[in-house]
Amino acid sequence: MEWQIQRNAPALGTALCQLHDIPDGQGKEFVFGSGDHAFRMFVVRRGAEVWGYLNRCPHFSIPIHVQPDRFVTSDHSLIMCANHTAMFRYDDGYCIDGPCRAASLDPVPVSQHNGMIQIRSGSERRDRHEIHV
């Protein structure tokens, strides 16, 4: 998994936030470390399901968002790169429209259990609400 070899990547099992901290249909960024080597990821939520991705557009390897925690289209149906208007599906990060069509966001496996979102550990069962990668 590419995300784990990034400098400042969070450990498996790292708690990120409560589910209610991310409004339904929206996203939230999480940053570990600082400066040029900060590990930047985001989580998007739909109901009790959550998905995590590196905050890096596959088109030019720049952040997906321009404004804080703005990762989705206005109708909350897709993840959108604010720089290139590339459109990605929530459930697998696949680009369905834009300059990086057919590319995908890099997943960071997250899960939600008892209202807590965390980096999924290798021992967690997949029958809880979690990322589908």
Give the tens place of pLDDT for each residue, 10-21.
Answer: 999 999 999 999
Looking only at the bridges linking them, the beta strands covering 110-113 and 79-80 are: unpaired
Give, in order, the Cα–Cα distances in Å from 81 to each of 18, 39, 86, 107.
Answer: 25, 18, 5, 15
Does pTM top 0.85 for this prediction?
A: yes
Domains of the chain with CATH codes: 2-130 (2.102.10.10)
Give the tens place of pLDDT for each residue, 23-46.
Answer: 999 999 999 999 989 999 999 999
On whether the CB atoms of residues 105 and 81 are closer than 8 A, the answer is no
Tokens of 51: 């998905």
